[in-house]
Structure 1
Amino acid sequence: MISADASEETRERYVRNIIATWQAANPEQLQRGRTWYRTAHDLASAITDGDPRAGAGVIAALSANKSWSENSRLARRAYETGVPSGHFEDALTKVVRIMAGEDPEEVLPMERKTGMFFRCIADPCDPNAVVIDRHAHDVAVGETYGQRDRGLGSTRRYALLAHCYREAAVRLDELPSTVQSVTWVVHTDRIAGTGTRGPRR
């Protein structure tokens, strides 16, 4: 696990790793990454008949350890049936609360991946939100961890990596979420078929 007290030198290395991955993107990967959260926002709006915040909250609550296709399928089904299913009880309880009208920001852990995923989907132009999942971690540290624990439950470690993405975004003149989504696309394309489990949010 990386240290949450990384030196300035280490932080700079993480920022450079992120930028190098961004610069490796081909035009198709750039396009996919740039539109990722906008497409997710449109789905969140569609499944709720025009309430993207609620839809984003449900999608985020159901995102842990799920592929995007499974995540979106579970969110859509929750709204179609009125009964969320297919996940752990804690996640389903959060979905029930959001579908009942509670503000997702009062339900989700906002300083970690789930809350940031909600923010990026609810507002793809959010200037500060950035999702640090296992792939974002591996891009920054420059190593594919596979099944090893990355320690992303630590708010300090999460904040460290989020800071590195924000710094990379400043240098690239992009939104942090765009930098994360483009580098996520590049990285998951690289590891596809290598035996490492595929793109999971």
Structure 2
Amino acid sequence: MYLMSHTHCWMEAVVFRSWQSHEAPKTMPDSALVVRVPPRDDPPAAEAMSLKADRLIDAPLCPKGLILMCGEMGSMSRDLSEWADRMRAVVMVVSEKRMTMDWLREYAPRLDFILVDSDYLGDTETTIDFCLQVRRAVPSLPVVLVSSEVRSHDFTCERMMACDVTLKPPLLQTALTMGVQAAYQNNEYYNSALA
């Protein structure tokens, strides 16, 4: 498997086991997989804080350092992991069947955002139902939906009842950066509309 041969894979088990033993409840999904753990040496400040060199953002997009992906290991998790490397974040891949809403409610404050793979979930109805459950459980958690069924990326609030942005695979680095940035803004707007 590609990700298991990743140079940082030896750190995955140690850090995940440590994270699980100190923070995760007994109901944490058994199939949770940490895709990448970034090295802990201190990089130059500009690299650690943003993609300022790329002139896309001025602030870190993953300040908490943990991204949850609802899906399975494959090309999408690899694309997300490569992007997460630049953000110094960890990606956890979990099946929707293993992810309880109680667990998500409890640990949402530790997550930067959730990425939902619509193609993994199957039909549109199942995907929308799952996104609505996530939205009801933790409205403050930005939801990035990825679907090959959409014509193009949608960074607007048009689908805000279910998600904050919709991206079309493959997940290119620039599209992910712009999508996550828009997801934070759209989620803030969604929550202000609820108040």
The TM-score range, normalised by the shorter chain, is under 0.3
Which of the pair is proportionally richer in helix? 1
* Structure number with higher relative contact order (C-alpha < 8 Å, ≥ 6 residues apart): 1
More strand per residue: 2
TM-score by length of 2: 0.24
Q: TM-score, normalised by structure 1?
A: 0.23
